[in-house]
Chain A
Amino acid sequence: MKLPYERPTLRRLTAGTLSKFGPQAGAGVRPVAEVAGASVPALLAQFGSPLFVLSERQLRRSAQALRRSFGTRYPRVQLAWSYKTNYLNAVCRVFHQEGAWAEVVSGFELEKALGNGVPGHHILFNGPSKTAADLARAAEVDAVVHLDSFDELRALLAVAAGRPRPVRVAVRVNLDAGLPQRWDRFGFNLENGQAWQAVQQVAAAPDLALVGLHCHLGTFVLEPAAYGTAAAKLAALAQRATHELHQTIDYLDLGGGFPSLNTLKGSYLPGPDLVPDLDEYAAAVAEALLGAGFAPEALPLLVLEAGRALVDEAGYLLGTVLATKQLPDGRRATVLDFGVNLLFTAYWYDHLISPVRADAGRPEPTVLYGPLCMNIDVVRETALLPPLGPGDQLVVHRVGAYNMSQWQQFITLRPNVILLDLQGNSHIIREAETLEYVQQPERVPEHLL
């Protein structure tokens, strides 16, 4: 009887970087053989590697948790699902079943939302690049246009003229909420008076109906207090519109930017130890709105455009090791069958990555490379994983946000995406691409045939 084998490994011991937060170092080492109750090897055998997996149960849980956090603190709350975060129709429809409206940022996304059965009046149209055709379509279906600029206002006035009903409009506001990085490229600035000017112009336009005020503070915002500040400022603007222009504002939209539990690159603490609970955001917002002086019967609807915080946790990327090698500097390198082409968020996060095999041996630091013939294709600069070999399988956690919309068809084809439903059944919700699919829009000039 031969002894079990574990590859010989040598790990340099580095004094000074030992962390008292022990679990962080070992967090990725725990084997994960199942995701959302399904066997990883079985899923990969059935649907191929790599494979995106989404858990319907987790999608619904997240939507319900957000509603609970805000709804128990403020009486009128509405979620508008951020389409760009993941606009696979099955994902969108889960959130719409949970009562979410749609928040879209292009004509393409507007049509997707309509196709998913969202009534036009439950679609909020954000974004800086609405064409005249987009604006006309939004007006036709009664979506709310979130105005981004005075040029867009002029374009919308031209589109709105002569229509049987006024086009519904919200003014997008950027403001100082005390965050180090201010997102001031979208909408009208509050502090310099632009936002008030926009409110006045919309209120004065008979073809437009001012129904809302909107702001979006940023992305992966870790300061709940900033949302309280933004809510207070929007509320003050709404009350000024009411008092000075006799204009009732139906809703205040605080946008998105709520973080998931991923670990940002450069962060000392892992996401789960660092990211505030949604309850803290809800408490800050509710306190600001309830203390803003609205009459109880005139409290505006609070709209939230959460994306990442709802979908990230529900997504997994399963993949396989293609090769391992030794780098000249002594580091281990592991080549995977997925890279930044599929895992766009590898640029932002140190994703938690788990081995599937339980008896894989003592962890060692390794660089994780993707399959692209490009130097930038690094999934993790360093990850502590057991010795891996070709064929070993891995699970990347919290990949539901942005990857399935920002991924690239680059060098390789995009793989299957499946949804595990509440009964554990698997459904392909986006088929793996084929050469024919990718080449279908191409045309070859006659002289090259």
Chain B
Amino acid sequence: MPLKKNIATSEAGFVFNPATGDSFAANPLAAEVLKLLQAGHDLAAIRAQLLERYDVPAHQLQHDLDDFIWQLTSFQLLEE
């Protein structure tokens, strides 16, 4: 589920969808996930990478990433 190619993101977490005009503020971890998605990583790889770096139980990260993907879907930021 890659990020749409026209979505603009910044290091500071600003996200812009030129197709809809919507803009978003991502917190640091969300910005990191978006960057990994843009780089073409799949969700399992992203999860593994984050588990290595962050102090979080695996089940919570899974839950939060699932929620985040739902959010990206509802904001129309992912490829169909």
Q: Which residue of A lies closest to B77 (CB)?
A: A10
Answer whether residue A6 sits at the interface, using C-beta atoms and an 8 A cutoff: yes
Q: Check: A9 CB closer than 8 A to any chain B CB.
A: yes
When each residue 1-36 of chain A gets 1 if its CB lies under 8 Å from chain B and 0 otherwise, what string results? 011111111111100000000000000000000000
Instruction: Count B-side interface residues using an 8 Å CB cutoff.
Output: 28
Task: Tally chain A residues at the interface, Cβ within 8 Å.
Answer: 24
Write the B1-19 contact mask toward A (1 if CB under 8 angstroms, else 0).
Answer: 0000000000000010000
B22 touches A9 (CB 8 A): no
Chain B residues with CB under 8 A of A11: 24-26
Partner of B22, one of A3, A4, A8, A12: A12
- Nearest residue (CB) in B for A325 is B67
Known: A5-B55, A6-B28, A12-B75. Is A324-B67 also a contact (CB below 8 A)? yes
Question: Do A4 and B65 touch (CB < 8 A)?
Answer: no
Q: Which residues of B contact A13 (CB under 8 A)?
A: 22-25
Task: Judge whether A9 and B55 touch: CB under 8 Å.
Answer: no
Point out the residues of chain B lying under 8 angstroms from A389, CB to CB. 60
Cα-based distance from A361 to B54 in the complex (angstroms): 14
Q: Does A330 contact B (CB under 8 A)?
A: yes
**Distance of A13 Cα from B75 Cα, bound (Å):** 12
- How many angstroms between the C-alpha atoms of A9 and B56 in the bound complex? 16
Q: Are B53 and A2 in contact (CB under 8 A)?
A: yes
Contact A10 B55 (CB under 8 A): no
Taking a contact as CB atoms under 8 Å apart, the answer to whether A8 and B27 are in contact is yes
Q: How far is the CA of A4 from the CA of B56 in the complex (A)?
A: 8
* B64 A7 Cβ-Cβ under 8 A: yes
Q: Are A330 and B75 in contact, with the CB atoms below 8 A?
A: yes
With contacts A324-B67, A330-B74 taken as known, whether A8 is within 8 angstroms of B30 at the C-beta atoms is yes
Query: Which residues of chain B are near A2, meaning CB under 8 Å?
Result: 53-55
Nearest A residue (CB) for B60: A389
Contacts of B56 in A (CB 8 A): 5
A389 to B66, CA, bound (A): 14
Q: Does A121 sit within 8 A of B, measured CB to CB?
A: no
Decide: B23 and A8 in contact? CB cutoff 8 A: no
CB within 8 A of B55: which of A3, A326, A328, A330?
A3
| Residue interface mask A325-365, B partner, CB < 8 A = 1 | 11111101000000000000000000000000000011010
Q: What's the nearest-Cβ distance from chain B to residue A332, in Å?
A: 8
> How many Å lie between the Cα of A11 and that of B30 in the bound state?
10
Q: How does the 8 Å CB contact mask read for A52-70 relative to B, with 1 for contact and 0 for none? A: 0000000000000000000
Chain A residue contacts of B60, Cβ below 8 A: 389
Q: Which residues of A contact B64 (CB under 8 A)?
A: 7-8
Check B55 against A6 for contact (C-beta < 8 Å): no
Q: Verify A10–B28 contact, CB threshold 8 A.
A: no
Q: Are the CB atoms of A7 and B71 closer together than 8 Å?
A: no
B67 touches A10 (CB 8 A): no
Q: Are B30 and A3 in contact (CB under 8 A)?
A: no
Closest A residue by C-beta to B52: A2
> In the bound complex, what is the Cα–Cα distance between A362 and B12 (angstroms)?
14
CA distance A332 to B72 in the complex (A): 12
The reply to whether A10 and B29 form a contact with Cβ atoms under 8 Å apart is no
Q: Which of A10, A12, A328, A361 contacts B68 (CB 8 A)?
A: A10
A10, B30: Cβ atoms under 8 Å? yes
Q: State whether B27 touches A328 (Cβ < 8 A).
A: no
Q: List 18 A-B contacts (CB under 8 A).
A: A3-B53, A3-B54, A4-B55, A5-B61, A6-B29, A7-B67, A8-B27, A8-B29, A8-B32, A9-B30, A10-B72, A10-B75, A12-B75, A13-B25, A324-B67, A325-B67, A326-B66, A330-B74
Give the 10 A-B CB pairs with smallest separation, nearest first.
A8-B30, A330-B74, A5-B56, A2-B55, A326-B70, A326-B67, A5-B54, A8-B29, A7-B64, A8-B68
List the interface of chain A (C-beta within 8 A of B).
2-13, 324-330, 332, 361-362, 364, 389
Known: A9-B68, A10-B26, A362-B27. 17 other contacts (CB 8 A): A2-B55, A3-B54, A5-B54, A5-B55, A5-B56, A7-B68, A8-B29, A8-B32, A9-B30, A10-B25, A10-B30, A10-B75, A326-B71, A327-B74, A329-B74, A330-B71, A330-B74
